[in-house]
Amino acid sequence: MPELPEVETVRRGLAPAMEGHAIVLAKINRPDLRWPLPERMAERLQGARVLALRRRSKYLLADLSTGETLLVHLGMSGRMLLSGSPLAAFHHPHPAPQKHDHVVLHMDAGARITFNDARRFGAMDLMPTETAGQHWLLCDLGPEPFSNDFHEDYLLARLKGRASPIKSALLDQRLLAGLGNIYVSEVLHRAGIDPRRAAGRISATRIASLVPIIRQVLAEAIEAGGSSLRDHRQPDGELGYFQHTFRAYDRAGAPCPTPGCTGTITRITQSGRSSFYCPTCQR
């Protein structure tokens, strides 16, 4: 599932073609994705101008001139593909319609944004902009990793006495928004922390060190266009490249890249998910 860097990459790719532009035609090709689509969705979108395109955790949020916000979740295989835009750094002609093109937005400057989702685990919804933060998918989310609300004192307070493994704690979207399996594995490897360690039993110094490491890993991933392992594509159809610099994730059996470490990256299962770490230098 796309994590914060992949969704932020999509947001940045779509923003030039969407922000400040009106949706002149909305084609809704099915009544549902993971859940039913909003009632009268095409009617509510057509004619609306996109005032801002933002991201909250793993969700895209398009604030509209109608006072509503369009929420988009990419799910497992969803893609937001951009074509025909003279405003972006590329100009792809509109491709022929595909089987899994479920929602297509035609913008006033000629761009077309297509939501394609083969597995239909994605989601879309419309809600009042002024109460968007109260939406059931957003209301319990923790702070954004790059926000001022995420800092050493916050993380120490939230992890104090917590018996769950640090890997599970950092995956909890109520504690911190946007991190997923890939980037937690990368963060913990750089921090030298065993993913199985009880979060509440890690020293304050090591917990504090996670804050800048989380930000650095995410910033590098965004700069690389995210990680393309299976489905992720940037809006222009290009792959992300951060997977080529993984230190731990999906590298089971490979030598640990930590300077001076002679260990080997190992894969274990935690709560049904794969964890990759070095038993030698992560303690």
How many C-beta atoms lie closer than 10 Å to residue 171's C-beta?
Answer: 19
Helix (H) or strand (E) holding 127: strand 123-128
CB 282 within 8 A of CB 192: yes
Instruction: Please tell me which residue in 58, 167, 190, 251 is annotated as part of the active site.
Output: 58
160 given a catalytic annotation? no
Select from 183, 167, 172 the least CA-distant residue to 240: 183
Instruction: Please tell me which residue in 2, 16, 145, 195 is annotated as part of the active site.
Output: 2
2 given a catalytic annotation? yes
Domains and CATH numbers, the chain: 4-134 (3.20.190.10), 152-277 (1.10.8.50)
**Residue 143 is encoded by which pair of tokens?**
């702070």
Instruction: Please tell me which residue in 19, 49, 273, 279 is annotated as part of the active site.
Output: 273
58 given a catalytic annotation? yes
273 given a catalytic annotation? yes
**Residue 159 is encoded by which pair of tokens?**
């992890």
CA-to-CA distance for 247 and 108, rounded, in angstroms?
Answer: 44
pLDDT in tens, the chain (283 residues): 789 999 999 999 999 999 999 999 999 999 999 999 999 999 999 999 999 999 999 999 999 999 999 999 999 888 899 998 654 444 567 777 778 999 999 999 999 999 999 989 999 999 999 999 999 999 999 999 999 999 999 999 999 999 999 999 999 999 999 999 999 999 999 999 999 999 999 999 999 999 999 999 999 999 888 886 665 666 666 667 688 899 999 999 999 999 999 999 999 999 899 999 999 999 9
Q: Tell me whether residue 8 is exposed, middle or buried, using C-beta atoms within 10 angstroms of its C-beta: 0 to 12, 13 to 18, 19 or more.
A: buried
Sorted by sequence, the CB contacts under 8 Å of residue 238 that are 6+ apart come out as 225
